[in-house]
Amino acid sequence: MEDNSSSSSVVSGVTQASFLQRTLERLSSTQSLKLKTEEAAPVAVIALQRYLSEQTKGQQLDSYSYDVTVTDGVWRAKCFLHPSLNHLVHSNSLKTGSEISITQCSFVYNERRLGHGYICIEQLRCAAKRSAVLARVNTVSSLPILVKQGMERSVVLQSDVPLQVSRKHYLSLWNNDDPEGDIWISGSPSADTVLDVSKVTLLSSLDSSFKNTWKPLPLLVKIIHKSRLRYYGKFGLKIDYPYQAYFEVADQSGTMSLVLWNELCPEFYQRLNVGTVLYLQNYTLKQSYSNRSRPQMDHHRMKTFNSVEICLNPRNPASVITVVSPKSILPQWGLPDICYQFTARSELEKLANNSACDIIGLVTFVGRVERVKSKGKGPEKYWTYRWVHAVDGTSDHPFILELFSTSQAEIFSHICPMTYLVCTQMRVCHVEGSLPYLTSSCETETFITGYHKGQPYVNDPRVKSFIQWTKTLKDNVVLQKTAVGGYYRYPHPPAMFTQSMADAQVPLVAAADLKRELETLQYREHKKLAIQGQIAAVQYMETPEPQGLKDKEVPSASTDVCDQTVTYPSHSSTTKQTFVESLTSHCTDSSSESRRKRRIQISKTTQSSLNCGNIPAKRNAGRKNTNEGEEQAEEESNSAFEEVQQVGLSLQAENPNPDSNDLSWESSSWVRQQQEVSEHLCKGGLWQDSICRRFTLDEKNVLLQWSNLQPTRWTPLRTADALSPVLCPGYYHVTILGINKQIAVDAMYIPVVSSSEPQAVGLPQDPHGNTMLSCLSSGFLCPLSNTANNSEETLPRPEEILATASELEDTHVVCILDLCHLGGNKVEVMISKVYRLTEVSLD
């Protein structure tokens, strides 16, 4: 470690107090350091990186380990996060851009490697606010890296590799599909090498000579399809870079699969694209793996050789891969052209289920990125996906796209309204009661505006026709039909709920199992399930209008903000409040008694029972910032993002208008029943993250960050002056009592009120009577208003709907619930559909 004089000259030329430097010095004389509150200065999290854990004896706490890089404004330090704190990452409580206080740490030496060691964070406190430290730092990368004296020459400590030296690379923070880190090479120029093509062999010859003795002559092929990356790392596997990627390659004789293995993936995966020509030497052949996804290639009209596949290995033998420069490609090589099968939206209904197609469209809606747990073997992993709507002018309906990560992280995270989107090898999904939608396959690639140049499809007639159509559009008109983020579900639930559906698609769970389902949810993980029971209470809440940010105001912390500071010890779980305990905590809203309300009583019930049953839990919003200067600086730089990402901000806590109506209904037996329930789960309201927003070009960066997952690395955010309007006039807060009346759960219901809403697309719109039950069953208010035709239908008022709620009394229903962990202590519980018993089949 450098002395104070040298470090001060590196930073600014004057001596600066450094908490990290002092801590490292103190760790030289003690095994583990506990810091008092006054000693634990705040540090900012600027990077959070994940990798497969080293296998340990005994119980494995987690499949993955995390390195966290922090700064005190003077130094940067990469630290190892104790595995017992990993749950803070799983819930996105510990995240980049936030502030933490380290209260216990140790220095760990690697006993099998000279000159290597690191700080291990064993206990910390998380602050919900964004870091004030970062407001004082101009460029994080310019800060020096703190290294213990004697370890300055350690390559590992200075490189973008894990602190656990047995692992050579990082994984993407939220999935295993995306390339992550500096090891992935991209954009390297093709070699202008003189090739000897006189001895090349054809793919047809490989297929016929596989089982005979053969000499691997060079191959000259063109890539016609590319799959996403596959990470197959697991404990005990002695491979540094366990990656695999499939390509379909072609020459004049036909097509064959090619597999890129292990460390060749970081070197070549991002350089090998559809249309790339390869000159291959020292490859091997093996029998094809039959149980894998393959692209549909009938439109190429070429012979497909499926019995063998070409393997490119880093050793034994080391394959030689030459990427041929486009200007060196000769017509006499006879390499085929790249073919596509672009489908117009008007043709989609005619395609068979699971058939493949390519599409191009103008994006009008982009949902938030969510995760779903993979059911495969090995270490736990998640798929990341988002829903997108895109129009092409051939139909009144958009393409409805379920896009999973395609190992194109930069494109996936920048899909936004008003961009031209191309998706290849999408699969058609026909579902009962909904419009067909398209889901991505292993071979899907996506491209957006800024990435189309040089792609083989740019000269396709369908693409040119689409571009001509977009020239007839007016941006201001299209912008009025755009939306970003919020709760979105597709396909819509079918008209009947069956036992087979419960067994295969939407698990029908016991109310008691809800607690376990909620407890195991991780950040942005989505689960869909069904429960039986009855609706005990309903309350209508208006959505507050978002405050403009021209005065740089941050939303009040009185609206259900979770704990500002929470301490997390590493070795004991007895002092840590569990996630579910926070969800079931009782309400302590002392101000609600003094608020003036005009309650409209719909049934003959008591006032006190409704307050206890429906007011959400408050979570210690009493802490105040003591440094007003830092708080003001933080608001100036981050106010727009705080408006949409305020940790724990809930819309339900208090209606902004104290004289507004509090519309509600409750069952006549709810007063007695709520005294008998053992637990009341998710006593909360609607979160800001659950509501989609209108897209504007000025707010593009803010809305993109809001709808994407928390980034691995912190970057300064450029904010807009005002936020787009919320597309939700109000919602219903519904209390569901389990069929055995032991557990209750609160869920939110947002009815679709306009045909312009993203959730209205493909929604069955059979007329109904706008009763409370029919609205919960259908998902919309009848009839939907049509803003596109300036048609303002008279929709029923909330009090009119609630006046019919008495039919819910003691009615046995099945509720389809969507669960999504929004980060921290925020969990979203939404009602997708309510089935009457007449809509339930036992078959």
Q: If you compute the radius of gyration of the chain from its CA atoms, what whole number of angstroms results?
A: 29
Residue pair 259/244 in contact by the 8 Å Cβ criterion = yes
pLDDT at 656 over 70: no
For position 14, what pLDDT does the model report?
35
Q: Cβ contacts of residue 217 below 8 Å, gap of 6+?
A: 199, 200, 201
pLDDT at 151 over 60: yes
Mean pLDDT across 286-298: 88
Q: Cβ contacts of residue 722 below 8 Å, gap of 6+?
A: 548, 549, 550, 640, 699
For position 574, what pLDDT does the model report?
36
Question: What is the rounded average pLDDT for all residues in the chain?
Answer: 83
| Residue scoring higher pLDDT (302 or 291) | 302
CA-to-CA distance for 35 and 626, rounded, in angstroms? 20
The encoded tokens of residue 36 equal 């008092």
pLDDT at 239 over 70: yes
For position 274, what pLDDT does the model report?
97
Give the fold, CATH level 3, of 203-333.
OB fold (Dihydrolipoamide Acetyltransferase, E2P) (2.40.50)
| Residue scoring higher pLDDT (94 or 627) | 94
Residue 20 host element (H or E): helix 19-27
For position 30, what pLDDT does the model report?
87
Closest CA to 220 of 239, 206, 210, 238: 206
Query: What b/e sequence results for 579-589 when a residue is b if at least 16 CB atoms lie within 10 Å of its CB, and e otherwise?
Result: bbebbbbebeb
DSSP codes of every residue in 102-140: EEEEEEEE-TTSTT-EEEEEEEEEEEEEEPSSGGG-S-G
Looking at domain 345-484, its CATH class is mainly beta
Residue pair 72/89 in contact by the 8 Å Cβ criterion = no
Distance in angstroms between the alpha carbons of the first and the last residue of the chain:
71
Q: What is the pLDDT confidence band of residue 543, given thresholds at 50, 70 and 90? A: confident
Mean pLDDT across 125-148: 87
Residue pair 4/15 in contact by the 8 Å Cβ criterion = yes
* Residue 654 one-letter amino acid: E
* Residue 626 one-letter amino acid: T
User: What's the Cα-to-Cα distance from 503 to each of 285, 375, 429, 532, 842, rounded to whole Å?
Assistant: 42, 16, 20, 15, 11
Residue pair 293/441 in contact by the 8 Å Cβ criterion = yes
Q: Which of 177-181, 214-218, 608-612, 689-693 has the lowest mean pLDDT?
A: 608-612
Number of H helices, E strands in the chain: 18, 35
Domains 19-167 and 497-543+663-691+726-842 are alike in CATH topology: yes
For position 79, what pLDDT does the model report?
96
Phi, psi of 142 (to 5 degrees): -80, -15
- Domain ranges for the chain: 19-167, 203-333, 345-484, 497-543+663-691+726-842
Q: Which tens digit of pLDDT belongs to each residue from 769-779?
A: 999 999 999 99
Looking at domain 19-167, does it have CATH number 2.40.50.140? yes
Q: Which tens digit of pLDDT belongs to each residue from 629-640?
A: 444 444 444 444
pLDDT at 118 over 60: yes
pLDDT at 44 over 50: yes
For position 572, what pLDDT does the model report?
39
Mean pLDDT across 498-518: 87
Q: What is the pLDDT confidence band of residue 546, given thresholds at 50, 70 and 90? A: low
| Residue scoring higher pLDDT (570 or 282) | 282
Closest CA to 490 of 623, 555, 590, 401: 401
Q: What is the pLDDT confidence band of residue 728, given thresholds at 50, 70 and 90? A: confident
Model pTM above 0.85: yes
Q: Which tens digit of pLDDT belongs to each residue from 482-497?
A: 999 999 999 999 999 9
19-25 contacts at long range (C-beta below 8 A, 24 or more positions apart): 19/43, 19/72, 20/70, 20/71, 20/72, 20/74, 20/75, 20/77, 20/146, 21/74, 21/75, 21/146, 23/102, 23/105, 23/119, 24/77, 24/107, 24/119, 24/146, 24/148, 25/1
Mean pLDDT across 761-773: 94
Mean pLDDT across 370-391: 92
pLDDT at 185 over 70: yes
Q: What is the pLDDT confidence band of residue 188, given thresholds at 50, 70 and 90? A: low
For position 576, what pLDDT does the model report?
39
CA-to-CA distance for 392 and 795, rounded, in angstroms? 31
Closest CA to 96 of 710, 823, 825, 821: 710
For position 336, what pLDDT does the model report?
95
DSSP codes of every residue in 641-695: HHHHH-TT-BSSS--SSTTSEEEEEE-TTHHHHHHH-SEEE-----BGGGS-B--
For position 253, what pLDDT does the model report?
94
Mean pLDDT across 181-191: 78
The stretches of 318-366 forming alpha helices (DSSP H) are none
Q: Which tens digit of pLDDT belongs to each residue from 574-630?
A: 333 444 444 443 333 333 333 333 333 333 333 333 233 333 333 233 333 334 344
Percentage of residues in the chain having pLDDT higher than 90 = 63
Residue pair 815/831 in contact by the 8 Å Cβ criterion = yes
Max alpha carbon distance in the chain (Å)? Answer: 92
For position 153, what pLDDT does the model report?
72
Q: What is the pLDDT confidence band of residue 226, given thresholds at 50, 70 and 90? A: very high
CA-to-CA distance for 513 and 46, rounded, in angstroms? 37
**From the centroid of its chain, how far is CA 559?**
25
**From the centroid of its chain, how far is CA 153?**
38
pLDDT at 198 over 80: yes
Closest CA to 330 of 280, 270, 279: 279
CA-to-CA distance for 393 and 470, rounded, in angstroms? 8
Closest CA to 119 of 82, 149, 84, 92: 82
569-577 contacts at long range (C-beta below 8 A, 24 or more positions apart): 569/104, 569/122, 569/123, 570/82, 570/84, 570/85, 570/104, 570/122, 570/123, 571/84, 571/122, 573/84
For position 159, what pLDDT does the model report?
83
Mean pLDDT across 663-682: 94
Q: Which tens digit of pLDDT belongs to each residue from 263-272?
A: 999 999 999 9
For position 680, what pLDDT does the model report?
93
Q: Cβ contacts of residue 215 below 8 Å, gap of 6+?
A: none
Q: Cβ contacts of residue 489 below 8 Å, gap of 6+?
A: 528, 759, 818, 830, 832
Percentage of residues in the chain having pLDDT higher than 70 = 80
Q: Cβ contacts of residue 480 below 8 Å, gap of 6+?
A: 694
pLDDT at 433 over 90: no
Mean pLDDT across 777-790: 79
CA-to-CA distance for 273 and 710, rounded, in angstroms? 28
Phi, psi of 650 (to 5 degrees): -120, 140
Select from 2.40.50.140, 3.40.1350.10, 3.60.15.10, 2.70.70.10 the CATH code of 497-543+663-691+726-842.
2.40.50.140
pLDDT at 59 over 90: no
Mean pLDDT across 397-403: 98
The stretches of 471-537 forming alpha helices (DSSP H) are 475-479, 499-504, 511-520
Mean pLDDT across 452-458: 96
Q: What is the pLDDT confidence band of residue 190, given thresholds at 50, 70 and 90? A: low
CA-to-CA distance for 425 and 357, rounded, in angstroms? 5
Closest CA to 24 of 114, 147, 151: 147
Closest CA to 127 of 41, 50, 49, 69: 41
| Residue scoring higher pLDDT (696 or 628) | 696
The stretches of 505-658 forming alpha helices (DSSP H) are 511-520, 579-583, 607-614, 628-645
| Residue scoring higher pLDDT (442 or 213) | 442
Mean pLDDT across 435-457: 97
